[in-house]
């Protein structure tokens, strides 16, 4: 059994009824994840630079992340061990001599894992 160790990233944003990833845009090592607050319908953008890889999966395929990365603990996490990065370390990062970190956005349906050489930034999407 895989054990995930993770830390919630403090953003000052709380999703009282949950969050949903509604769109992911990627171009040349930069990724934007658009996250909808299911209570207020406000949209937030999580921006990653220096992206090595990313994956979007239904939460049902990610049982190893629960309960560590469940909504009661936050919505944006830095994964310290046991996650996707741990699975890819021998194949991907050793060859690239990278110091990538894994970040995880927990959505109500879809979840996003990002391996990046830089921490994400978060801001409210201007309409």
The domain locations on the chain are 48-119
Q: Tens place of pLDDT for every residue, the chain, 127 residues? A: 778 999 999 999 999 899 999 999 999 999 999 999 999 999 999 999 999 999 999 999 999 999 999 988 999 999 999 999 888 776 655 455 567 899 999 999 999 999 999 999 999 987 6
Which among 67, 75, 7, 10 has a CA at the least distance from the CA of 37?
A: 75
pTM of the model: 0.92
pLDDT at 91: 62
Which positions ≥6 away from 110 have C-beta within 8 Å?
20, 21, 56, 57, 58, 59
In sign, the C-alpha dihedral spanning 99, 92, 122, 62 is: negative
pLDDT at 34: 98
Helix (H) or strand (E) holding 54: strand 51-58
The two structure tokens encoding residue 36: 């909808």
pLDDT at 93: 54
Which positions ≥6 away from 112 have C-beta within 8 Å?
21, 24, 33, 54, 55, 56, 104, 105
Distance (Å, rounded) from C-alpha 39 to C-alpha 17?
5
Which among 88, 87, 77 has a CA at the least distance from the CA of 19?
A: 77
């Amino acid at each position: 059994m895989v054990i995930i160790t993770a830390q919630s990233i403090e953003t000052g944003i709380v999703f009282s009824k949950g969050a949903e990833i509604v769109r992911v845009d990627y171009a040349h090592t930069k990724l934007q994840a658009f996250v909808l607050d299911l209570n207020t319908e406000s949209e937030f953008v999580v921006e990653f630079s220096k992206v090595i890889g990313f994956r979007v999966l239904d939460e049902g395929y990610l049982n190893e992340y629960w309960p560590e990365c469940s909504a009661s603990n936050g919505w944006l996490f830095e994964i310290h061990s046991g996650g996707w990065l741990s699975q890819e370390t021998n194949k991907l990062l050793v060859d690239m001599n990278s110091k990538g970190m894994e970040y995880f956005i927990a959505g109500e349906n879809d979840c996003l894992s990002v391996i990046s050489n830089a921490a994400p930034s978060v801001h409210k999407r201007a309409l």
